[in-house]
Amino acid sequence: MCGKKKIHNAKQAVLMADIFTKEKRSWVMSRIRGTNTKIDLRMKELLSENKYKFEMYPRMFGNPDFVLRRKKIAIFCDGDFWHGYNFRNGKTPSKKFWIEKIQRNMERDQRYSRKLRSDGWSVLRFWEHDIERNPEKCMRKISRKFNERRRP
């Protein structure tokens, strides 16, 4: 049987039914990829087109999606849902589980960014919607940071 979703946000007082059973939802969620996502592949394309020498998914603290080692720049491509873009607009998921999960993701993102910066890295985070709809803006940020960073 499908469960009901309650919206905890007063602005969104609606009940929504989950269209999947608990087992089906579990299977669907297990198929969500963490690497080679659409936005990661788009960012890889942008960096390649602009002739940046980069590493994708380097094994290092914070697990950035890309690094430009020569300039110590770490790049993260954050999915709007998973990293809490809509939290800033007061739009939160209906289930307590997802609210807490996304809040933990946001706290982890901040913790990782702070640590990388304290270790001398410059951290750039891009939202999914910016990578998809405004890639030129993303590249301008990367170029600006690349040009202002001295070689470590």
Q: What is the pLDDT of residue 41?
A: 96
Q: What is the pLDDT of residue 29?
A: 62
Q: What is the pLDDT of residue 152?
A: 59
Q: Tell me which residue has tokens 């950035």.
A: 64
Q: What is the pLDDT of residue 27?
A: 66
Q: What is the pLDDT of residue 128?
A: 96
The full 3-state SS of 62-130, as one line of letters, equals CCCCEEEHHHCEEEEEECCCCCCHHHHHCCCCCCHHHHHHHHHHHHHHHHHHHHHHHCCCEEEEEEHHH
Q: What are phi and psi of 136, to 5 degrees?
A: -65, -40
In whole angstroms, give the CA distance from residue 20 to residue 89: 27
Q: What is the pLDDT of residue 130?
A: 97
Q: What is the pLDDT of residue 28?
A: 62
**Per-10-residue mean pLDDT, the chain, length 152:** 44 52 70 78 98 97 96 96 84 84 94 98 97 97 94 62
Residue 23 falls in which region: left (phi positive, over 0), alpha (psi -120 to 50) or beta:
alpha
Q: What are phi and psi of 121, to 5 degrees?
A: -90, 150
Q: What is the pLDDT of residue 58?
A: 96
The 10s digit of each residue's pLDDT in 41-51 is: 999 999 999 99
Give how far Cα 107 sits from Cα of 76, 92, 112, 127, Å: 15, 16, 9, 16
- What domains appear along the chain, each with residue ranges and CATH number? 1-32 (no CATH), 33-148 (3.40.960.10)
In whole angstroms, give the CA distance from residue 56 to residue 124: 14
